[in-house]
A = this chain, B = another copy of it.
Amino acid sequence: MNADLRRERESASFHTERLTHLLDGGPEKTRRRREIETLALNDPELQHKEVNFLTCSERYDVAVKKSSLMVRKIQEHAISNPEEIMSFKRYVHRGRPEPLDLHLGMFLPTILNQATPEQQDRFFIPAWNLQIIGTYAQTEMGHGVVVGDIGPKFGFDDVDNGFLKLENVRVPRENMLMRYAKVLPDGTYMKPPSDKLTYGTMVFIRSMIVGESARALSQACTIAIRYSAVRHQSELKPGAPEPQILDYQTQQYKLFPLLATAYAFCFVGNFMRDMYHRITGDMNDGDYSQLPELHSLSAGLKAFTTWVASTGIEECRMACGGHGYSRCSGLPDIYVTFTPTCTYEGENTVMMLQTARSLSLSGCGKWQMASTLSERGTTPSLVMWWPRKSICSQLNSHFAGLIVRPDCASRAKSQQRYLFKSYTRAKSGQRLSGTVSYLNDLCNHIQPQQVAGRPPLANLDNVTRLVEAYKLRAANLVEGAVQSYHVELGCRINKEEAWNSTAIDLVRASGAHCHYVVVKLFAAKLSEITDGSIHNVLCTLFRLYALHGISKNSGDFLHAGIFNDHQISQVHQCVKELLAAVRPNAVALVDAFDYPDAILSSVLGRYDGNVYEHMFEWAKRSPLNQNEVHESFHKYLKPLQSKL
């Protein structure tokens, strides 16, 4: 092992394995996760090919082969827990999307949830046995059926995102999944008895994406921090040996706030997963009361975490200098695989506006407009190729290849009734619970106060006060956006225009709300930790996360009178001190994420730190190195020499 990494690990102040247990949710969960990991990673049939040297078509071929094997192995190993199936899938494909993603993750669950018993008999078992392979076609135009691949993309080389063009095609009425919504023989569309019945898959996937944000960002941090401990460069003191680049404050400033964010998102991801399961349980008992909050929170946190993680991955890549551009670093692949989460399953800006609506709008029951850039219009994956027109209009037809999910047209109007009422209720003095409960205090706390009248924050160590600061900021921006909306309403013809003219304030308020939720959940996690040394290191990370966020958004905190000038200067100073405090544990903190080398797929992020030798070995396998001199020299350059 590289001597620097060894020294870093030996000097960590906490027990890495115990922190891994905390992230997994207990030692038994860590054990089982590793067991599944081993099943996938050690299986000789599932060995990984270096995909970076393959063409697009070859990559797709490899991916289909692995997907086929995977389905068989899942049955052989009798893995039946859905989360364990997801894990196994992730290990087999090393975190990359794969050709059966939509089939397994959306098509099968949708049939289970929305098909009539007759349709289940007809579709489910053939689909389970891969005799039908489902995909997701959102939008279409025109009238013959033409299908094909949409061509090369930014990442997603292993998936054949397709186009589907229909010409003069009618789909049999019986192919629409009619457990809840129905189309009668005369073409009449019958709405489902409750909009809530169609929430399930969508909320599930958004909640899971929060966990994906944590995974992608923590992998990027692992690579960049390990490499920054291995790489030596320049000099801090004249004549002294070159220091590890992790000793430069600017490098710490790039990476440690992201490391803190990765931890925050891990806890938020676990919270969302647990919340989803809890509320699903409640729903099975007929209690839908918490569903709107889950819906609102999953939309906002999906957007908040994917934006932050997507940007953060690129920051990690650039922190690796020139080597970050090499595909052997693993970082380009992590980025192009992850960044689509900002767009699919609800485009992020639309998600933020949904959360804003739930936070801020009064007038419950009267408000019926579709959201700005309504959810219908968002891209669930890369399959959308033509202007949207409801697929329902193609029903009652003779083409049997299409199974229609009926919720597309009704979804936009069914937003967050519960949270929709939140602001009104708070204003009228009713008590709210859950993550919006701070709106209760709206009238008391969020008036911008005179800076001079506010006592300085004596101690920036105080976890509760930091959470409170984020709460006040969110409340202030929600209130500001609502006021702005009402001012616009006074100048505009209708609510829709006023809403559109306030949209950027609303997005900003949603972002602040989500930021508050993340800070609050991170703080809540701290109180659960019993191991003293782990508590200490996570407190440091929490403070870095919270204070860095205040430093970067100091205008919001100053403007709302939450902090004064002097306190903001203190915050900037504290951030620098916290970077130094994180430094000795940085490598151990990324080790605790426990990604095996096979999953990271990064020469720079190798656990043993033997970066340079392996970079050279990797490069030698490049197709351009298969001949001493590339044929293009003989074809083009050599003939030219004689002419010049």
Contact = CB atoms under 8 A, between A and B. Distances in A.
A242 B233 CA distance: 55
A64 B629 CA distance: 13
Contact of A619 (B149, B249, B503, B558): B149
Between A65, A324, A383, the greatest number of chain B beta carbons within 10 A of the residue's beta carbon is seen for A324
B451 A151 contact: no
A72 B559 contact: no
Interface string A554-583: 111111010001001100100110000000
Q: Give the copy number.
A: 2
B234 A377 contact: yes
Contact of A149 (B64, B72, B250, B622): B622
Contact of A60 (B340, B388, B618, B624): B624
A229 interface: no
Nearest to A56: B623
Nearest to A331: B154
Contact of A160 (B148, B151, B630): B630
A326 interface: yes
Contact of A340 (B325, B374, B565, B620): B325
Nearest to A577: B501
Interface stretch (A6-14, A219-227, A341-349): A341-349
Nearest to A252: B504
Contacts of A331: 154
Interface string A298-329: 00000000000001001001100111111110
A327 B248 contact: no
A492 to B, nearest CB: 11
Q: How large is the interface on A (under 10, 10 to 19, 20 to 34, 35 or more residues)?
A: 35 or more
Nearest to A232: B387
Contacts of A569: 559
A448 interface: yes
A250 B633 CA distance: 50
Given A236-B496, A496-B237, A630 B152 contact: no
A584 interface: no
A-B pairs, top 10 by smallest CB distance, nearest first, are: A554-B555, A322-B379, A149-B624, A154-B332, A555-B555, A64-B632, A151-B622, A68-B636, A234-B374, A234-B377
15 contacts: A61-B635, A64-B632, A64-B633, A65-B635, A68-B639, A75-B644, A152-B622, A154-B331, A163-B616, A238-B370, A314-B314, A314-B339, A322-B383, A385-B616, A559-B565
